[in-house]
Amino acid sequence: MESYTIGQAARLLGVSVDTARRWADSERFPTRREGTRRMVDGPDLAAFCVQAAQEGAEGEDEAPYTSARNAFPGIVTAVKLGTVDAQVEIQAGPHRIVSLLTREAVEELGLAVGARATARVKSTSVFVDRP
């Protein structure tokens, strides 16, 4: 299971680090300590990303979420595996992206709820890669 620092969580949520800290302090999502660092477990962050997007949550430094060259970095919020195909949902800031790809690709990339992933969009095709 992947874990994220508050700074990484803030980038995935599309908000400032201060906002992510305040949300963690108010127990909007759970954190734990690893030495001096506060960590968020991937599945917990994924669940919060979906909740925040549904609530229309926005950061204090309100700036439009944009992509460079149609790349949407985010966190995997759902994976549905079929016999041959798969459906992967990624929450990239306020954007929910759904991609249909092969089961083999999902397994090779190690995509699971809570994993970081980037959806790359070209025309009607979405390619998913992992850092």
- pTM equals 0.59
pLDDT digits (tens, 9 = 90+) for 50-99: 888 777 644 444 444 444 467 888 999 999 999 999 999 999 988 899 99
Q: How far apart are CA 9 and CA 22, in angstroms?
A: 12
d(CA 117, CA 22): 25
- The helix/strand/coil state of 55 is helix
Q: Which pLDDT score is estimated for 57?
A: 41
| 109 phi, psi to nearest 5 deg | -80, -15
pLDDT tens-digit map of 110-131: 999 999 998 888 766 677 888 7
**What is d(CA 76, CA 62) in angstroms, rounded to the nearest whole number?**
23
